[in-house]
Amino acid sequence: MALDPAYLEYQRRRYGMDHDRYEWSMLSRRAPVAWPNGARVALWVNVAVQFFPLNQRGKPFPPPGGMSTAYPDLRHYTLRDYGNRVGLFRCLEALDEAGVTPTFSVNAAIAERYPQLLERLNRRGNEILASSWHMDTLHHGDLAMDDERELINRSLAALRAAVDEPVTGWLGPARSQSGNTPDLLAGSGIRYMGDWINDDMPYPFATRHGELIALPLSLELDDQFIIQNNLHSEWEYADQVKDACDYLLAEAGKTGHGRLLALSVHPWMMGQPHRIGAFESVLKHISEQTGVWSAPASDIVAAWSDQRA
C-alpha cells in the first residue's frame, strides 16, 4: 500500500502563508496602533441576535447551538428563542448599567420575524452588523457562488432596509465561510468581517473586489464556546474574560501597542437568570479598568484604518 505520490508534494511550501488572502505578519512586529484618548485596549462586545429554524437542514454541519433532537426539537428552538424574548433585555440592562457599548450581529431573518425587536435595536443607535439569513444558512465550499451571492444580498437588503446606520460588518453563522465569501462580501459593500479568528488586532484581507478588514471575534473567549462547548461554569467564564482583559491591558501597556478584546455574547446563554450575574461582574471589572475603549466594531476598524502607513 502506498499513497498517491501527490501526497508528498508541497506546492505551497514557501515563504509566508499557503494562500493569498493575507500577509504573514507577527503581531509583535507590526507598527504600533494607538486607540482614541490613550486607550490601550479596544473593547468590541458583539451581542448575537439569532434565529435557529426548527426545520434545520444542518448542511454541511449542524450549527453549534442548533436543533439536536428529532423533529420537532421544541427544546432547543425555544431555548434559543428565549434569548430574543428575555435574555437580550437582561444583557442590555447589564451593558447600559456598565456603560459598555454593544454591537449587534443580527440574522436577517429577525427583520422579517421580529421587526419590532430589530426596530428597538435600531432606535438604540448601536451598530448592527449582518450575520447571514439565519443560523442554518451556513457558508461553505459546496455552496454555489450564485446561491451564496443571493444569500448575502438578500440578508444585507433586509437589514439595510430596517436599519438607519450603514451595515458594513459581517459575521457568518458559526463563523462559516466558503472560499468565495470574502469576495462576495467586499462586492456587497461590506468593509469588515469577524470570522477569521487568528489575531488580536484587525488586519487587511485581500479579495477580488478590493480589501476587507478582518476584525477577529475571538472564539476561545466566546460565551457559547466556554460554557456550552467546554462546559465551564459561568463564574469560570467570568474569570477567563477578566484575565484576558487584564493581560491585554498589561501587554498593551508594556509594548505601547493597542490591543483588541473581542467578546462574543449570546443572550440565550448569558441572559439566563443564573448566568447574568457573571456577565455583570465581567462588565463591572472591565468598566473599572482605565485604558479600555468600548466602541462599536466599525469605529474600531476606522481607528485602526486611520493609522495605517
Partner 1 sequence: MTSPVREDPALYDYRAWDERLPIRWPNGARVAFWVAPNIEFYELDPPTNPIRKAWPRPTPDIQGYGTRDYGNRVGHMRMMELLDRCGVRGSVSLSVALCEHHPEIIDMCRERNWEFFSHGIYNTRYVYGMDEAQERAVIEDSVRTIARHTGQQCSGYLAPALTHTERTLDLFSEAGGLYTCDLFHDDQPTPVRVRSGRPFVSVPYSLELNDTIVYVVNRIEPRRYGAMIKQAFDRLYREGEKGGTVMCVPLHAYQVAHPHRIRAFEDALAYITGHPKVWVTTGREIAEYFVEHYYDQAVAKWGSEDKGEGGDGA
Residue pair 133/151 in contact by the 8 Å Cβ criterion: yes
Distance CA 229, CA 221 (A): 11
Site residues (vs partner 1, CB under 8 A): 1-4, 6-8, 10, 12-19, 24-29, 60-61, 140-142, 174-179, 195-200, 216, 219-221, 229-232, 236, 239-241, 243-248, 251, 261
> How far is residue 271 CA from its own chain's centroid?
18
Smaller CB separation from partner 1, 28 or 116: 28
Question: β-strands 102-106, 128-130: how paired?
Answer: parallel
| Angle of helix 115-124 versus helix 145-162 axis, rounded to 10 | 70
Q: Least distance in Å: CB of 257 to partner 1? A: 11
Smaller CB separation from partner 1, 25 or 188: 25
Which one-letter amino acid corresponds to residue 144?
A
Smaller CB separation from partner 1, 130 or 245: 245
Q: Least distance in Å: CB of 20 to partner 1? A: 11
Smaller CB separation from partner 1, 69 or 229: 229
Q: Least distance in Å: CB of 1 to partner 1? A: 6
Q: Least distance in Å: CB of 201 to partner 1? A: 8
Smaller CB separation from partner 1, 23 or 97: 23
Q: Least distance in Å: CB of 264 to partner 1? A: 13
Pull the grid cell for residue 183.
469576495
Q: Least distance in Å: CB of 90 to partner 1? A: 23
The sign one gets for the Cα dihedral 247, 300, 163, 219 is negative
Q: Which helix (H) or strand (E) holds 146?
A: helix 145-162
Smaller CB separation from partner 1, 162 or 185: 185
| Dihedral, 226, 227, 231, 235 alpha carbons, nearest 10 | 100
- Residue 131: strand, helix, or coil: coil
